[in-house]
C-alpha cells in the first residue's frame, strides 16, 4: 500500500475541523483520508476519488464493516473530471482538496500491468485498464521523434536519442511486448551507474505518457480551486520536478490574480527521519494554497 508521505505536515496545513468536508482526489489506500476523517468527527465527510479500480475496491472492503462507510464516498474515476464528480455526488461546502501524486507501492508489487521494471509483465502501465493507450502501443507504434521527446522531457533521459534508435530497430524485428524485453534493450544501451537502475527514467516517462499525468494535473488544479469554498485549501504533494513546476506556476498565477494566498512560500519536504523510514519520500514536495 502507498505509505502516506508528509502526512503530519499535510494535516497541519489543512487543519481539518469538526464536521468539515474534504475531497481526496488521489485516495489510493486511504491513509490521508482516514487521518482527516478522525479530525472531522462526527459528521465530516470525504469524497475519495481514484482512477485505479483495485484501489477503490480495496478501500471499500477495508471500511465495509465500520462507521466510516457513512462518511467516505468512493468514486473510481480520473480526477480530471473533479467538478463533474463533485456535482454528481452533490458534495458541497468543501474545506480542502488533497492531491497526492505519488504512485503506490502496490502498483509495483500487486498490479500486473507492467509498472515495475523488476518483474516480467505485459507492457501496459495504465492506471485504469478501461483506457485505450498502453505503454506497448507507445514503444511499438509511436514515431521515433515522439518517443525520444517523452523519454527526454518526462524521464530526463540523456540517452534518449540512442535508446529511441534501439527501440526503433528492435520493433522492426519483433514487437516489444513485455517489461523484461524492454529492460534488456535498455540495459544494452545505458551503462549501469550507482544504485539507480538504467530503466528507471524510461519507465517513468512511459507511465506519465500513458496516463497523461501532466495534462491531467494541469486540468484538475483550476477545478480544485472552483470546488473549494472561500477559505478552503488545496494541498498538492508532487514527486518530480515536472509536477512541482506545474503546481508552483499555477499557485503563483492564482495569487497574482488575487484569488488565493500561497501558504507554503517554499515547498515542504520530508524530514530526515521520514526519509530514512520511507526512502521513496525523498523527492516529495508539499505545496498548499488557500482560496480567497
**Could you read off the pLDDT of 192-214 as tens digits, one per residue?**
888 889 999 999 999 999 999 99
Q: To which H or E segment does residue 95 belong?
A: strand 94-100
Q: Following DSSP, what letter does each residue of 2-58 receive, concatenated?
A: PPPSSHHHHHHHH---TT-EEEETT-TT-HHHHHHHHHTTTT--EEEEES-HHHHHH
What pTM does this model have? Answer: 0.94
List the one residue out of 101, 103, 77 whose CA is nearest residue 91: 77
The answer to whether the CB of 35 falls within 8 A of the CB of 45 is no
CATH (residue range 7-106+213-291): 3.40.50.150
The answer to whether the CB of 260 falls within 8 A of the CB of 290 is yes
Task: Read off the pLDDT of residues 58-76 as tens digits, 9 standing for 90 and up.
Answer: 999 999 888 888 999 999 9
Strand duo 46-50 + 72-76: pairing: parallel
Cβ count within 10 A of residue 265: 6
Asked if the bond preceding 42 is cis, omega within 30° of 0, the reply is yes
Q: To which H or E segment does residue 73 belong?
A: strand 72-76
Query: What average pLDDT does range 212-233 have in this prediction?
Result: 98
What span, in angstroms and rounded, lies between the C-alpha atoms of 50 and 54? 9
Taking the C-alpha atoms of 35, 245, 129 and 72 in order, what is their torsion angle to the nearest 10 degrees? 20
List the one residue out of 137, 105, 143 whose CA is nearest residue 123: 137
Q: Is 105 a residue whose pLDDT tops 90?
A: no
Task: Read off the pLDDT of residues 144-186 as tens digits, 9 standing for 90 and up.
Answer: 999 999 999 999 999 999 999 999 999 999 999 999 999 999 9
The answer to whether the CB of 260 falls within 8 A of the CB of 222 is no
Residue 108: which residues within 8 A CB-CB, separation 6 or more?
115, 116, 118
Degrees, nearest 5: CA angle 262-252-241: 95
Task: Read off the pLDDT of residues 10-46 as tens digits, 9 standing for 90 and up.
Answer: 999 999 999 999 999 999 989 999 999 999 999 999 9
Residue whose grid cell is 515547498:
267
Going by pLDDT thresholds of 50, 70 and 90, the confidence category of residue 1 is low
Which pLDDT score, from 0 to 100, does residue 106 have? 66
Q: For the chain, what are the domain ranges?
A: 7-106+213-291, 112-211
Q: Is 103 a residue whose pLDDT tops 90?
A: no
Q: Following DSSP, what letter does each residue of 129-150 receive, concatenated?
A: TTSS--HHHHHHHS-HHHHHHH
What span, in angstroms and rounded, lies between the C-alpha atoms of 272 and 255? 31
The CATH topology of domain 112-211 is DNA polymerase; domain 1 (1.10.150)
Residue 261 Rama label (left phi>0; alpha psi -120 to 50; beta): beta
Q: To which H or E segment does residue 162 belong?
A: helix 160-173
Residue whose grid cell is 477495508:
62
Amino acid at each position: 500500500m502507498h505509505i502516506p508521505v508528509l502526512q503530519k505536515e499535510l494535516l497541519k496545513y489543512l487543519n481539518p475541523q469538526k464536521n468539515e468536508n474534504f475531497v481526496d482526489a488521489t485516495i489510493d489506500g486511504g491513509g490521508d483520508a482516514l487521518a482527516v476523517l478522525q479530525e472531522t468527527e462526527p459528521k465530516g465527510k470525504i469524497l475519495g476519488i481514484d482512477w485505479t479500480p483495485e484501489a477503490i475496491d480495496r478501500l471499500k472492503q477495508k471500511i465495509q464493516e465500520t462507521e466510516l462507510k457513512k462518511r467516505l464516498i468512493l468514486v473510481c474515476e480520473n480526477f480530471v473530471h473533479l467538478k463533474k464528480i463533485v456535482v454528481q455526488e452533490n458534495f458541497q461546502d468543501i474545506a480542502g482538496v488533497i492531491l497526492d501524486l505519488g504512485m503506490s507501492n502496490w502498483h509495483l508489487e500487486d498490479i500486473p500491468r507492467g509498472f515495475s521494471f523488476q518483474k516480467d509483465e505485459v507492457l501496459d502501465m495504465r492506471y485504469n485498464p478501461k483506457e485505450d493507450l498502453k505503454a506497448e502501443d507507445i514503444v511499438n507504434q509511436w514515431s521515433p521523434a515522439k518517443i525520444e521527446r517523452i523519454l527526454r522531457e518526462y524521464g530526463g533521459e540523456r540517452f534518449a536519442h540512442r535508446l529511441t534508435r534501439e527501440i526503433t530497430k528492435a520493433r522492426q524485428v519483433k514487437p516489444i511486448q513485455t517489461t523484461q524485453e524492454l529492460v534488456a534493450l535498455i540495459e544494452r544501451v545505458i551503462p549501469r551507474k550507482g544504485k539507480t537502475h538504467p530503466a528507471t527514467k524510461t519507465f517513468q516517462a512511459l507511465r506519465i505518457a500513458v496516463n497523461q499525468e501532466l495534462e491531467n494535473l494541469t486540468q484538475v488544479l483550476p477545478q480544485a480551486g472552483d470546488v473549494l469554498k472561500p477559505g478552503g485549501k488545496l494541498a498538492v504533494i508532487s514527486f518530480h520536478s515536472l509536477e512541482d513546476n506545474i503546481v508552483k506556476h499555477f499557485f503563483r498565477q492564482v495569487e497574482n490574480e488575487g484569488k488565493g494566498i500561497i501558504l507554503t512560500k517554499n515547498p515542504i519536504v520530508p524530514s530526515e527521519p521520514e526519509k530514512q523510514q520511507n526512502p521513496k519520500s525523498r523527492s516529495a514536495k508539499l505545496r498548499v494554497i488557500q482560496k480567497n
